[in-house]
Amino acid sequence: MTREPGQPPAADRPHDETTRPPRVVLGVSGGIAAYKACELLRRLTESGHDVTVVPTAAALEFVGAPTWSALSGKPVSAQVWDSVHEVPHVRIGQQADLVVVAPATADLLAKAAHGLADDLLTNTLLTARCPVVFAPAMHTEMWEHPATQANVATLRERGALVVEPAEGRLTGADTGKGRFPGPSEIFEVARAVLSRAGAANLLDLAGRRVVVSAGGTREPLDPVRFLGNRSSGLQGYALARTAAARGAEVTLVAANVTLPDPAGVKVVRVETTAQLRDAVLSAAATADAVVMAAAPADYRPVTVSEAKIKKAEDGSAPTIELAQNPDILAELSHDRLRAGQVVVGFAAETGDDAGGVLDHALAKLARKGCDLLVVNDVGGGKVFGAADNEAVVLDAAGRQTAVPHGSKTALAQVVWDRVVAALETA
């Protein structure tokens, strides 16, 4: 199944009444994070997915079958011997549009990598011909063990998406890498994968390193005030999330964003434009693509007051001298840090007496020198903070691809489609 450039992915287009809901198998293995999968299940069912839960016997020690059955609306079993006449160990995998194993323990990853089939879930994994997503959760030592890393590499080579675990509090007092990503973020990964059902290569960014910037920088005036903008970071986070769902190793440089970390993404937090520049250039040195979706402040105060600036009793306003910030996008575009690197910029524009939105965008494209420029009309406060977006994607020759109004995830997928095409011809 293919779609025209600029057309939203299937999961973001309206369905008619006869459209079958996507069939998702939620595999749950025996880790303490099994209880978090209940929230993932709730999100999947409430968004209209037909979900079959397949827990392991160990998972049922953490969360019982009645809970999974009540949340999914279906009977739940871990055994191949239940309802044998329906051949569940074959049919469940054959009929699935997506299999998500969350959490995936070290034991489950090992069984999947070696093709073992000693329960209903591992049988399902062998019979599934749809995309498979693993969301690992375990102690740091188990995740970093060479055996686990080899199993993960094997699964990735076979086309599975293995989401990098998060860093943070683990069982007990331990802290480190191996934490189960937020259920809402695993849900978004599942949606992103399903939205590209039928694509020739679902993991077309596998083996690629990409950098995405998001949010808006702040330039301090004093300890409590700053110059900034209204960027929410939503579009940048959608870009990072969808790149990870397409198999990329993603570094997200986030400027003053309070959103939850996307699953499988390394997040670097910054505040000022100078910090954003340093973080992006550092990560871009080894990146195949850089997408500058952040909104850096164009100017910064020449001096920053160490004390709060007090209101003058005579009503006069302070004079603030500004200096221009570095142009990160232009620097990346003109001084490519890696051969064949694709650089994408974003332009939030409004029309004025000097020209329309696209007039200003074409001038910016020529000035910046990037490979692609995503143009947003932000007149009247549009786009910032909204869940939806629409844009025009310009390439270096000025050719235009209009992306109709839809989710920011849909726009992100179109951007990555164009990036992949550019990387293949670089």
Residue 426 pLDDT > 90:
no
Query: How far apart are alpha carbons 174 and 176 in whole angstroms?
Result: 7
Sheet holding 23-28, edge to edge: 50-55, 23-28, 98-104, 132-136, 161-162
Please name every residue paired with 53 in a beta bridge, in sequence order, or none if there are none.
Answer: 26
- Tell me what pLDDT residue 172 has: 77
Q: For residue 5, what pLDDT band results from cuts at 50, 70 and 90?
A: very low
* % of the chain residues with pLDDT over 70: 91
- CA atoms in the 13 A half-sphere facing the CB of 64: 3
Catalytic residue among 123, 151, 229, 325: 229
Q: Any idea how long the chain is?
A: 426
- Tell me what pLDDT residue 89 has: 62
The predicted model gives 322-348 an average pLDDT of 94
- Please say if 151 is a catalytic residue: no
Residue-averaged pLDDT of the chain:
90
Residues of the chain with CATH 3.40.50.1950: 21-195
- Tell me what pLDDT residue 398 has: 85
The predicted model gives 170-190 an average pLDDT of 90
Exposed (0-12), middle (13-18) or buried (19+): which is 214, by Cβ within 10 Å?
A: buried
- Tell me what pLDDT residue 14 has: 38
Q: For residue 145, what pLDDT band results from cuts at 50, 70 and 90?
A: very high
> Domain 209-305+318-425, what fold?
Rossmann fold (3.40.50)
Residues of the chain with CATH 3.40.50.10300: 209-305+318-425
Q: Which CATH superfamily hosts domain 21-195?
A: Flavin prenyltransferase-like (3.40.50.1950)
Q: For residue 77, what pLDDT band results from cuts at 50, 70 and 90?
A: confident
Residue 133 pLDDT > 90:
yes
Closest among 262, 264, 254, 265 to 213, alpha carbons compared:
254
The predicted model gives 305-322 an average pLDDT of 91
Planar angle of CA 258, 277, 422, nearest 5 degrees:
95
* % of the chain residues with pLDDT over 90: 76
Sheet holding 372-377, edge to edge: 265-270, 249-255, 209-215, 289-292, 342-349, 372-377, 388-395, 400-407
> Which residue is listed with tokens 């070290």?
106
pLDDT tens track for 359-391: 899 999 999 999 999 998 876 555 566 778 889
- Tell me what pLDDT residue 11 has: 46
Output the pTM of the full model.
Answer: 0.89
Query: How far apart are alpha carbons 366 and 334 in whole angstroms?
Result: 11
